[in-house]
Amino acid sequence: MTALTKSHTGADRLADRPNPHAHAADPGRMKQQTTLRDVIDLYLEHARGYYRTREAINLRATLGRLRRAYGGVPAGQFRALRLQAWREDLIAEGLSRGYINRACAHVRRCYKWAVSLELVEPDALESLRAVEGLKRGRCGAIERPPVEPVTPELVIATLPWLTPTVRDIVEVLRLTGARTGEIRLMRTADIQTDGVVWIYRPSKHKTAHHGRPRAIPLDEQCQEILLPRLTPFVPERYVFESRDGRPYAESSIRNAVAKACKRAGLPHWHPHQIRHRVLTEARAAGVGLDEIRALAGHAHISTSELYARADETKAIDAMRALRRSGG
């Protein structure tokens, strides 16, 4: 079933709910009876099937806050002033400006979806869009410091305190600069091993919904770590399996690193900081921005084979430059 079909099914269920105050043929009256809780519940159901990344989890976290605070309010009556009042509540909770702006963007995205299914009137969305994002230094929200790269020395000092599987995950992250979500979902079938440099093509990745391919080069150092895990060859098996045969959860990897740091008496760091370090080192090594883009998987490019191959070459060049510089 497609995401659109799921969405319309949700709208039909909302329309079919018993309503003692309105006739089913009166869509205007139905919209008046639709609460914010109804809209959020249906949107989150849609999001679970639509998004292949952590975005559905992020939406559930932010919109869940709104649901608890304003769930009983008619959806059409949640407008600019109420959004600003909720935003002030988030500031009072001590949440960062960046988080609050993302939360408000999630609300507008939810309403855009609801308008497309005629669950709320368009003017409610326009009212929410009139609320500008919080500006740095012009609001009471805290500023969260930017994520700093973790030092290679700290990562290496942590490795002996990790379990073998998490240690290998961290090593591959350190060697590739890939996202944690990409490496944890690595399957044997996703790795092309017929070249000097292997190519890992994640079946799921952050920008897959744009139709853009992702190619992560795996050089000899990566291959040395991965090869024992690829034997025997089972195409659909995850390279880094947990005890139940499923891929490691990102939270499990983060928690394992945090516990290892605590046991070793080392400063805390998290896996995403490795990616920052790799990309920073690549720039310091003189790697061009286009090659860094290919290595990181950031750019919005065509789905054609020509562009896919060009990106593989640039990513491999970036990795080789990193190795020459000692990265």
Residue 145 lies in a domain: no
Q: Could you tell me if 230 and 305 lie in one domain?
A: yes
Residue 137 lies in a domain: no
DSSP string, 50-97: H-SSTHHHHHHHHHHHHHHHHTTSBGGG--HHHHHHHHHHHHHTT-BH
- The pLDDT confidence band at residue 306, using thresholds 50, 70 and 90, is very low
Q: Could you tell me if 175 and 250 lie in one domain?
A: yes
Q: Could you tell me if 167 and 305 lie in one domain?
A: yes
Residue 167: per-residue pLDDT: 96
Which of 66, 97, 129 terminates a domain? The answer is 129
Q: Could you tell me if 308 and 236 lie in one domain?
A: yes
Which of 91, 114, 129 terminates a domain? The answer is 129
Alpha-carbon distance 298 to 198, whole Å? 20
Alpha-carbon distance 103 to 101, whole Å? 5
Residue 321: per-residue pLDDT: 72
Residue 143 lies in a domain: no
Residue 138 lies in a domain: no
First CA to last CA across the chain, in angstroms?
46
Domain count, the chain: 2
Residue 307 vs residues 236, 250, 289: alpha-carbon distances, Å:
27, 30, 16
Q: Could you tell me if 117 and 193 lie in one domain?
A: no
C-alpha closest to that of 174 among 186, 162, 161, 183: 183
- The pLDDT confidence band at residue 102, using thresholds 50, 70 and 90, is very high
- Give tens-digit pLDDT for 86-97: 999 999 999 999
Q: Which two tokens stand for residue 308?
A: 């896919």
Average pLDDT, the chain: 82
CATH of the domain at 92: 1.10.150.130
- Give tens-digit pLDDT for 154-185: 999 999 999 999 999 999 999 988 989 899 99
Residue 144: per-residue pLDDT: 87
CATH of the domain at 180: 1.10.443.10
C-alpha closest to that of 301 among 205, 208, 202, 178: 208
Q: Could you tell me if 161 and 59 lie in one domain?
A: no
Q: Which residue has the tokens 């046991």?
A: 263
Residue 135 lies in a domain: no
Residue 93 lies in a domain: yes
> By residue range, what is the domain housing residue 176?
152-324
Q: Could you tell me if 309 and 229 lie in one domain?
A: yes
Q: Could you tell me if 174 and 319 lie in one domain?
A: yes
